[in-house]
Chain A
């Protein structure tokens, strides 16, 4: 049965609009309730896909190794990213340095599905983040608090992740950032309209976005958590704290049995509100990654302090 056409097809406006806010933010909506995993090889990407990851983050070194090895961390080799794109059918994300708009142009040119403008890499600009509206590909950015999240959204970020402290296997910073963002949203939602301009000033964020958050009681984009998640229980806690999904970096492939741990974290994310399920998948996972106590980390090595 042919589709009915009320107007001749030639006269219709085929405004095939690419890269609209709805298309960029909508992509993140499709990842909700899922786990995005850091991978450094096509083989790891396949393990992540088999375990039920909703996307992979292609990079040369996981944050734990970037931490251990030091030096300047940059965008990955496009060759390596393309090999991972060829290996899996789920979306592939990649990281650009904060402010490095040419790395972002390169990642868009090779066709990655999402760019993470990430504090895990060494910042390329200490004053400006990338103008993300200038791109067709969507961006996710990190934030430690609501003001930072809204500043990134005002630059065009289509998804936010709380920063946590990447490569530590320690969930304490992720908890702090997620609680901070959610508490600030609740506080805005309870304010009178005349209080919102002062809140905008205090949070250093555009009033328009402040009003939007206050009215909706949520961010206008999807909110994930990242940085330090190492166990199914970590994953479930972040979801119960209000994350809509998770990024897991070093926590999987720096552990004893990555395939099993990856699958367990996926299941704990879906059933984050069911302790029996979280208990079930937490059994017999082997060694978790060795964690780092935040108090052992000198200030200069705190990645979450990058970006503003």
Chain B
């Protein structure tokens, strides 16, 4: 059976594990290289991207993960996970390491500090059944995407959204999905369902 791993170095891994199981696939925590070798896909959860990036290096996971991703392992990153998956990061520490599997430039803490964190409704391409309730926590947004990257969701382009209007908050490149927000926190499993479908029926459009 297909097993979706969830990176468990820090962050809300447990919520992702539960979401995957509710979508009908097996899930497993990944903290070691040998655990990474046993999963068919990987979710990088929400958390602190600076911390996760350091721990990936400290626990010898960065290189094995890069190799798995280069081989086409499906992956999904929410918030901190999105930051780790993108090619370039703005407003981050200069010494941090990226997995760089999505050709996109992401801005860290783009919406502001925690007092600016918010939730709201978004249309999400490929997710049927109406808008998705999106929870943004010290969230990033995507400033630029390469031509192979599909934009799946934006903050609605209206005056009420202020400087966030029209910002890109969900993207996909081939078998890699990323959201600036946290679908694992709401109980609505449609975004995880989309990822699980990407895992079980790969489209091969890398």
Contact = CB atoms under 8 A, between A and B. Distances in A.
In this complex, the interface size class of chain B, counting residues with CB under 8 Å from chain A, is 35 or more
B48 interface: yes
Given A32-B12, A114-B114, A54 B51 contact: yes
Interface residues of A, number: 49
B13 interface: yes
B38 interface: no
B39 interface: no
Contact of B48 (A19, A31, A263): A31
Interface string B81-96: 0000000000111000
B72 interface: no
Interface in B118-156: 118-121, 123, 125, 131, 135-138, 150-154, 156
A16 B62 CA distance: 36
A240 to B, nearest CB: 15
Given A3-B154, A33-B9, A52 B115 contact: no
Interface in A262-276: 263, 266-267, 270-271
B66 interface: no
B160 A16 contact: yes
Interface string B41-62: 0000011101100110011000
Interface of A: 1-6, 9-10, 12-20, 22-23, 26-27, 29-34, 49-50, 52-55, 89-91, 108, 111-114, 136-138, 263, 266-267, 270-271
Interface of B: 8-15, 31, 46-48, 50-51, 54-55, 58-59, 79-80, 91-93, 108-109, 113-121, 123, 125, 131, 135-138, 150-154, 156-158, 160-162, 164, 182, 185-186
7 contacts: A14-B161, A15-B120, A18-B118, A27-B137, A30-B48, A111-B115, A271-B31
